[in-house]
Structure 1
Amino acid sequence: MPDEAARRILLLGIAAAGLVAGLLPVLLGRGAAEWLFTIGTLPVLAALLRDLWHGFRRGEFGLDLIAALSMGGALLLGESLAAAVVALMYAGGEFLEFRARQRARAEMTALLSRVPRSAMRHGAKGLEEVPLDAIAPGDRLLIARGAVVPVDGSIDAVAAVLDTSALTGEPLPQRIAQGEAAMSGSVNAGEAFDLLATRRAAESTYAGIVRLVEAAQASKAPMARLADRWSVWFLAFTVLLAGGAWIATGDAVRGLAVLVVATPCPLILAVPVAIIAGLSRAAGAGVLVKSGGALEAMARARVLLLDKTGTLTIGRARLAAILPENGVAEEELLRLAASLDQASGHVLAQALVEAATTRGLTLSTPIAVQEAPGEGIAGLVDDRQVAIGSATYVATTIGGPTPAAPPDQPPGAALVFIGVDGAPGGVLVFEDPIRPDAPAMLAGMRRAGIGRVVLLSGDAEAPAQAVGRALGLDSVVAGCTPEGKVAVVRAEGQAGPVMMIGDGVNDAPALAAAAIGIAMGARGAAASSEAADAVVLVDRLDRLAQAIRIARRTLHIARQSVIAGIGLSSAGMVAAALGHLTPVEGALLQEAIDVAVILNALRALRGDDDRAI
């Protein structure tokens, strides 16, 4: 990429230097001007011919052919000044287009950097740190608290608590019993445990996700210039008109004048200018769109696929209900439970303490604390015996009946049972609520042209369907693996260009496979941000609809600029064919057309008026 940038800057500098240097002898009355104009033109022409040849071998061609005919014809006919002007316009246009394409997505450095490079393995001499490639099925590994599980395996301990949200979208930590499978890429949210490796690193779940993202990104076509969609008929019209003028008059210079006026510089310049302006506007709204092609895909999107956890929902466990028993007051039950959970590193413990402090409760320091990883915690709070955890753990700890579970438990909710002084104390209900701005975002998306909205979730069927019903979505697909999400993206693509919104590592392959992938970067995984075509930099869903409106307005202005450029160039071509313009006059006219079209393209920098265009 740096070499390509240097090449384009060099060509632009040569073309400008050649034109300026050639004008000096003209002004001073010397005869070296033609040589200087030619020297400034030839490198640009050579680079253009090389690009045309590579494109022809791929079965591609476009309006750049007219620029090559203009420069080559002008040099052959002795119109070197016209050739130099065309070379400068072309090199400038190519440089601006390159700058627009430079905003393409970055490499997946964040996704790859999250993969652990080594692991702690139990050996004959104790623990030893080994590289991932050295891990074989059957090896026993130590997974420290907060560490990423490096390979697929099974729990070789009483239990483990794993945060699988980046892989499955499940917001609540999962208790994995001894002998059950643990996926690579999940994070140890509890105490350290041993893992019995069942696969090599290259064959594990997380490595598969990385490969999916790479394959999906590689399958995407490069950004095509909007102007090329008019290239076939405009190229044919130009060649026929130039050839007709030459044949009818016998004057090759007249045909050259047609080619010079037709040189598609306004088409090359105006589109990148409009796109860059649109990218700037979207960034100002808090949505970083990584390329002009992504902005165009956003404007054309008709199907919206959304992840649930962290996208439509808060993505963090929150206390939803307090259900006390045996005369324990709600506030006291919460205070006792939160006081004890200060000694726990469990994710739900953090949510519990946060709920208590938010209510202004004064927490006490627990003593005689005993925690069973993945099961629960017990201890003394103000001389009261408190136990928190699963129903079985609390019943065993208090030596009595289990606290009663609520009969109308919300789908996907997590229940925390509490025992107080040897008796059931009650139940705390945690859930992942719908984001308050989700309904307004969906309404704005539909106004912006989205016709179908589908929820994709790695979560269970019940909570996913509950969110779908609450938000009036068109379809819900639950229990999705990363591969399953990619399959849905491809299937939904038959109904129109697909926009995918997600925030976890499990969403990264689908984000890369969609026509436009958008990551919730404010709170999402870095891997999803790298795989996506656009990133929402602020924690505001409503910015997505605004970004679509900006994209649609930008595309409208870019298309308008292309049509205006072709129209003005066509009028100039006719004048040149009738003998009213010389090649140099045609080149200068083309410069005036460039200015007019670019000024129109710059309208994309103005504020979005919130109308769907």
Structure 2
Amino acid sequence: MTQDPFVSRLRPFLVVWPLIGLAAGLAARWAGHDGLASALWIAASAPVLAVLLAEIVGGLRRGDFGLDIVAALSMSAAIVIGEHLAAAIVALMYAGGQYLEGFAERRAQREMTALLARVPRSAMLHVDGALEEVPVERIEPGDRLLVRRGDVVPVDGRVAGGVAVLDQSALTGESMPVRLGDGDDVLSGSTNAGDAFDLEATRTAADSTYAGVVRLAEEAQRSRAPMARMADQYAMVFLGVTVLLAGLTGWLTAEPVRVVAVLVVATPCPLILAVPVALMAGISRAAKSGILIKSGKALEMLARVRALVIDKTGTLTAGTAHIVDTHVAPGISPSELLRMAASLDQASKHIIAETLVAAARAQGLALSVPTTVEDTPGAGLTGRVDGRLVSVGGFQYVSARVGDAELRKLSRDRHPGAVGVAVAIDGKAAGLIILADTVREGSEELLRRLRAGGIERIVLATGDRMDVARFVSTGLGLDLVRADLTPDQKVLVVLSERKNGPVMMIGDGVNDAPALAAADLGVAMGARGAAASSEAADVVLLVDHLDRILPAMAIARRSRAIALQSVVVGMGLSIAAMLAAAAGHLQPVEGALLQEVIDVAVIFNALRALRG
């Protein structure tokens, strides 16, 4: 049953109180005060039973039935027939099981706080020739803003003079920075990866793109299909068997003591404890492998998924640009071309310049200090390296210095989504360095193993262009490729795939957060992905390896199998004990002791999920 927030806050008290009452009652009985012991046990059970009955009433109004009804029946009957010790034990076992289940969720659930934290709270507004920092709520269409390097664009608008270099990967999935000129539209939620620029607001903050993504994620989280607890699926069967056996015993024997013994043995501790213990053990086991599973319900769903919707940038691909090819003019080697370009690019903070510098250093190239550098923001640089005049930048920037025809001789076909960095040395075209986001190594094998593990359908859903998506997905054996998707369209893709079974969504960007929240199971790349996606997801891969989803699924299936085994065996032993009690072979006290032995057995069996 769904837990009320107020009840959730009471859970620690509901565990400690019956534990204290149970111990105090045992001490009173040991001292010969049986009446006091019974009173203490009733007092220990009463708060748990009261909260339980309130939850049952609320659940019945929603048409929700579960193991709570079995626990309430066992506790109430034990109190009515004078088995107060049994009532206290059931109260402690029930409250403990509920607390364990809630703890597994609370250990990682922070409900979208990072998504909301990324929302810009203020902006730099031009006011009478000066800059004033104002709350984003004050921004109106037509206002002129300054967006500094590294700032998240606070509202939708257009570039008002100059050049904007924006990282839109969190919104669109486009892995390479976008260069926008005067009058071009800018999406809120983009990050300024270049120099500061002016933005003319075209919408208020509340009506802008990023605010819409936040609202969409929150709505998807609220409207997602509930995951049923495994124990609830068996609770009604156990309840029916308990009522039937108790009723038949009373009708056939007319001996109240046998009915009492049946009800005492029927305390549903295997159901109450086995599932949360096994699932928590699985969650702990997964954490050791770098996999954060936020709840027992998520672990159960991970074992059942049949369809996969996967994002491209940062998930199926590495999410960052890499050098994939180099076209060089005669007389210069690829390594020397990279060394010269990277040496000059040390003077730039452009993201592509930083990529070239990092690549050169990774190859162990000795970079020289550039001099007399002229930087044209968003276009390129010109300066001297080792006394030679070097230009690095876009095709148009460099061709203006060496001639279009000369540079085109070095340009050959390259795959969609790639970016060419042109290099000229001493007024002559020296080469092109090709950068692209590449598919993660082993992706084809990973998808094959996912299919072998029970995933029947795999869909690529990306905000990137269709030609890029098709190129990246070549040879991966996907069932469907969807591209040019907005965040709300990704949600629709997830919902449409539900006809094929429970859907798992894997993503890493802010634009993936609504789809992750809407999926039956959301999995986020937490090592490098956006914090928003980690908060919206049910499972977070703490290391930047997509193949971690394979052991996660294996752990989930093993934990669920052990939980199921514990439930079935525990219920079977309890039913056998009820039959023995109905036949007069077990007295109530003996039944209570036998039930605790069964409880211990199923708990130890459930803990096997920690191993393997």
Name the TM-score, length of structure 2 as normaliser. 0.95
Find the partner of 1:522 among 517, 523, 527: 527
Q: Does 1:15 align with 2:18?
A: yes
Compared CA separation, residues 353 and 587, structure 1 to 2 (3 A): same
Find the partner of 1:439 among 444, 450, 470: 444
Q: Give the counterpart letter for 1:459 in structure 2.
A: D
Q: How does 1:103-502 map to 2 (within 5 A)?
A: 103=107, 105-221=109-225, 223-325=227-329, 327-398=331-402, 401=405, 403-404=407-408, 406-502=411-507
Give the match for residue 537 of structure 1.
542
Range 572-581 or range 136-145, more displaced: 572-581
Check whether the contact 1:456–1:478 (CA below 8 A) recurs between aligned residues. yes
Check whether the contact 1:66–1:259 (CA below 8 A) recurs between aligned residues. no
Q: Does 1:600 align with 2:600?
A: no
Q: Give the counterpart letter for 1:391 in structure 2.
A: F
In the TM superposition, structure 1's runs of 4+ consecutive aligned residues that sit over 6 Å from their partners are: none
Q: CA deviation at 1:473?
A: 2.1
CA distance in 1, matches of 2:98, 2:537: 26
Give the match for residue 56 of structure 1.
60
Compared CA separation, residues 592 and 320, structure 1 to 2 (3 A): same
SS in structure 2 at match of 1:235: helix
Q: CA deviation at 1:148?
A: 0.9
Check whether the contact 2:162–2:198 (CA below 8 A) recurs between aligned residues. no
Range 301-310 or range 245-254, more displaced: 245-254
CA distance in 2, matches of 1:487, 1:329: 49
Q: Give the counterpart letter for 1:259 in structure 2.
A: L
CA distance in 2, matches of 1:313, 1:463: 11
Give the root-mean-square deviation of aligned CA atoms: 2.0
Query: Deviations for 1:464-491, whole angstroms, at most 9, x for unmatched residues?
Result: 1122113222221111211111111111
Q: Give the counterpart letter for 1:513 in structure 2.
A: A
Check whether the contact 1:399–1:422 (CA below 8 A) recurs between aligned residues. no
Give the match for residue 29 of structure 2.
26
Check whether the contact 2:101–2:296 (CA below 8 A) recurs between aligned residues. no
Q: How many residues align?
A: 607
Compared CA separation, residues 258 and 421, structure 1 to 2 (3 A): same
Q: Give the counterpart letter for 2:30 in structure 1.
A: L
Query: Deviations for 1:240-277, whole angstroms, at most 9, x for unmatched residues?
Result: 22112112222334223222222211111000000001
Query: Deviations for 1:418-459, whole angstroms, at most 9, x for unmatched residues?
Result: 222223222111111121132332233222211222211111
Compared CA separation, residues 94 and 256, structure 1 to 2 (3 A): farther
Q: CA deviation at 1:125?
A: 4.3
Check whether the contact 2:159–2:197 (CA below 8 A) recurs between aligned residues. yes
Check whether the contact 1:223–1:292 (CA below 8 A) recurs between aligned residues. no
Check whether the contact 1:321–1:428 (CA below 8 A) recurs between aligned residues. yes
Percent of aligned pairs with the same amino acid: 57
SS in structure 2 at match of 1:345: coil
Compared CA separation, residues 77 and 328, structure 1 to 2 (3 A): closer
SS in structure 1 at match of 2:454: coil
CA distance in 2, matches of 1:448, 1:292: 20
Q: CA deviation at 1:170?
A: 1.1
CA distance in 1, matches of 2:403, 2:34: 107
Compared CA separation, residues 420 and 532, structure 1 to 2 (3 A): same
Check whether the contact 2:307–2:497 (CA below 8 A) recurs between aligned residues. yes
